[in-house]
Amino acid sequence: MRIREIAQARVRYGYRKIRVLLNREGWNVGKYLVYRLYCEEGLCLQRMRPAGKRKASRPRAEKFKATAPDQAWSMDFVADQLQSGTRFRSLTIVDVYTREAVAIEAGQSLKGDDVVRTLNRVKQERGVPQILFCDNGSEFDRPRYF
Protein backbone atom coordinates (compact mmCIF):
# COMPACT_ATOMS: atom_id res chain seq x y z
CA MET A 1 0.00 0.00 0.00
CA ARG A 2 2.77 2.43 0.92
CA ILE A 3 4.58 1.81 -2.40
CA ARG A 4 1.39 2.70 -4.29
CA GLU A 5 0.89 5.84 -2.18
CA ILE A 6 4.44 7.07 -2.80
CA ALA A 7 4.17 6.28 -6.54
CA GLN A 8 0.92 8.25 -6.83
CA ALA A 9 2.30 11.21 -4.88
CA ARG A 10 5.59 11.25 -6.77
CA VAL A 11 4.79 10.14 -10.29
CA ARG A 12 8.34 10.36 -11.67
CA TYR A 13 9.91 8.15 -8.95
CA GLY A 14 10.97 4.66 -9.89
CA TYR A 15 11.31 1.65 -7.64
CA ARG A 16 14.86 2.58 -6.57
CA LYS A 17 13.88 6.00 -5.26
CA ILE A 18 10.76 4.56 -3.64
CA ARG A 19 12.95 1.98 -1.85
CA VAL A 20 15.15 4.79 -0.48
CA LEU A 21 12.06 6.58 0.85
CA LEU A 22 10.72 3.36 2.40
CA ASN A 23 14.05 2.69 4.13
CA ARG A 24 14.03 6.25 5.52
CA GLU A 25 10.56 5.63 6.93
CA GLY A 26 11.79 2.52 8.73
CA TRP A 27 10.77 -0.22 6.29
CA ASN A 28 13.76 -2.54 5.90
CA VAL A 29 13.09 -3.81 2.37
CA GLY A 30 15.41 -4.99 -0.37
CA LYS A 31 15.50 -3.80 -3.94
CA TYR A 32 14.21 -7.07 -5.40
CA LEU A 33 11.15 -7.09 -3.17
CA VAL A 34 10.35 -3.46 -3.96
CA TYR A 35 10.85 -4.09 -7.68
CA ARG A 36 8.56 -7.14 -7.65
CA LEU A 37 5.79 -5.33 -5.76
CA TYR A 38 6.26 -2.21 -7.90
CA CYS A 39 5.75 -4.22 -11.08
CA GLU A 40 2.81 -6.25 -9.66
CA GLU A 41 1.00 -3.00 -8.88
CA GLY A 42 1.49 -1.90 -12.50
CA LEU A 43 3.54 1.13 -11.54
CA CYS A 44 6.44 0.52 -13.98
CA LEU A 45 7.53 3.66 -15.74
CA GLN A 46 8.35 3.77 -19.42
CA ARG A 47 12.04 4.31 -19.95
CA MET A 48 12.97 7.60 -21.50
CA ARG A 49 15.67 6.78 -24.00
CA PRO A 50 17.93 9.62 -25.00
CA ALA A 51 17.62 10.76 -28.57
CA GLY A 52 20.18 9.30 -30.92
CA LYS A 53 23.28 11.22 -31.77
CA ARG A 54 22.55 13.72 -34.48
CA LYS A 55 25.16 13.99 -37.12
CA ALA A 56 25.52 16.75 -39.59
CA SER A 57 24.64 15.42 -42.99
CA ARG A 58 27.59 16.01 -45.23
CA PRO A 59 28.18 14.09 -48.41
CA ARG A 60 31.24 11.87 -48.27
CA ALA A 61 34.18 13.16 -50.24
CA GLU A 62 34.84 11.22 -53.40
CA LYS A 63 37.88 8.96 -53.25
CA PHE A 64 40.86 10.14 -55.27
CA LYS A 65 41.32 8.23 -58.54
CA ALA A 66 44.74 8.22 -60.14
CA THR A 67 44.77 9.05 -63.84
CA ALA A 68 48.54 8.86 -64.42
CA PRO A 69 51.59 7.11 -62.96
CA ASP A 70 53.15 8.53 -59.77
CA GLN A 71 49.99 10.44 -58.79
CA ALA A 72 49.04 8.13 -55.92
CA TRP A 73 50.98 5.48 -54.03
CA SER A 74 49.80 2.92 -51.53
CA MET A 75 52.03 1.88 -48.63
CA ASP A 76 51.61 -1.14 -46.36
CA PHE A 77 53.50 -3.79 -44.41
CA VAL A 78 53.48 -7.49 -45.19
CA ALA A 79 54.64 -10.13 -42.70
CA ASP A 80 55.66 -13.73 -43.28
CA GLN A 81 57.74 -16.51 -41.78
CA LEU A 82 60.62 -18.57 -43.18
CA GLN A 83 60.81 -22.36 -43.00
CA SER A 84 63.22 -22.00 -40.08
CA GLY A 85 60.64 -20.01 -38.12
CA THR A 86 62.31 -16.63 -38.56
CA ARG A 87 59.76 -13.89 -39.07
CA PHE A 88 60.31 -10.98 -41.41
CA ARG A 89 58.40 -7.95 -42.61
CA SER A 90 58.34 -6.08 -45.87
CA LEU A 91 57.41 -2.47 -46.49
CA THR A 92 55.74 -2.29 -49.90
CA ILE A 93 55.04 0.92 -51.79
CA VAL A 94 52.87 0.42 -54.88
CA ASP A 95 51.85 2.87 -57.59
CA VAL A 96 48.03 2.85 -57.58
CA TYR A 97 47.65 3.57 -61.31
CA THR A 98 50.20 1.14 -62.80
CA ARG A 99 50.29 -1.39 -59.91
CA GLU A 100 54.06 -1.20 -60.10
CA ALA A 101 56.08 -1.87 -56.96
CA VAL A 102 57.84 1.44 -56.34
CA ALA A 103 59.83 0.06 -53.39
CA ILE A 104 60.05 -3.07 -51.28
CA GLU A 105 62.09 -2.93 -48.07
CA ALA A 106 62.48 -6.21 -46.15
CA GLY A 107 63.86 -6.84 -42.68
CA GLN A 108 63.26 -8.62 -39.38
CA SER A 109 62.18 -5.44 -37.63
CA LEU A 110 61.16 -2.37 -39.58
CA LYS A 111 60.61 0.78 -37.58
CA GLY A 112 59.29 4.23 -38.42
CA ASP A 113 62.82 5.41 -39.18
CA ASP A 114 63.10 2.71 -41.84
CA VAL A 115 59.88 3.95 -43.42
CA VAL A 116 61.23 7.52 -43.51
CA ARG A 117 64.54 6.36 -44.99
CA THR A 118 62.77 4.37 -47.73
CA LEU A 119 60.41 7.23 -48.59
CA ASN A 120 63.33 9.69 -48.81
CA ARG A 121 65.18 7.33 -51.15
CA VAL A 122 62.13 6.90 -53.38
CA LYS A 123 61.52 10.65 -53.34
CA GLN A 124 65.02 11.23 -54.71
CA GLU A 125 64.51 8.61 -57.45
CA ARG A 126 60.93 9.22 -58.61
CA GLY A 127 59.65 12.40 -57.00
CA VAL A 128 56.70 12.84 -54.65
CA PRO A 129 53.14 11.61 -55.37
CA GLN A 130 50.09 13.80 -54.89
CA ILE A 131 48.57 11.32 -52.42
CA LEU A 132 50.10 8.56 -50.31
CA PHE A 133 47.59 6.02 -49.00
CA CYS A 134 48.57 4.08 -45.86
CA ASP A 135 46.86 2.31 -42.96
CA ASN A 136 47.32 3.15 -39.29
CA GLY A 137 49.87 0.47 -38.46
CA SER A 138 52.20 0.60 -35.46
CA GLU A 139 55.12 1.56 -37.71
CA PHE A 140 53.51 4.90 -38.44
CA ASP A 141 53.06 5.91 -34.77
CA ARG A 142 56.02 8.25 -34.48
CA PRO A 143 55.40 11.29 -36.70
CA ARG A 144 58.38 12.11 -38.90
CA TYR A 145 58.43 14.32 -41.93
CA PHE A 146 60.34 13.43 -45.04
Q: Give the Cα separation of 71 and 132 in Å (integer).
A: 9
Identify which of 127, 137, 126 has the alpha carbon closest to the alpha carbon of residue 90: 137
Beta bridge partners of 75: 93, 134
pLDDT number for residue 88: 92
Question: pLDDT tens for residues 42-80?
Answer: 887 666 667 666 666 666 677 888 999 999 999 998 889
State which residues form the domain around 112: 72-140
Number of structural domains (the chain) is 2
- Within a domain: 135: yes
For residues 79 and 128, membership in a common domain is answered with yes
pTM, full prediction: 0.54
pLDDT digits (tens, 9 = 90+) for 71-130: 999 999 888 999 999 999 999 999 999 999 999 999 988 888 888 899 999 999 999 999
Q: How far apart are CA 70 and CA 98, in angstroms?
A: 9
Say which residue, 62 or 36, is predicted with more confidence. 36
Q: Which residues contact 94 (CB under 8 A, 6 or more apart)?
A: 73, 74, 75, 100, 101, 102
The answer to whether residue 54 sits within a structural domain is: no
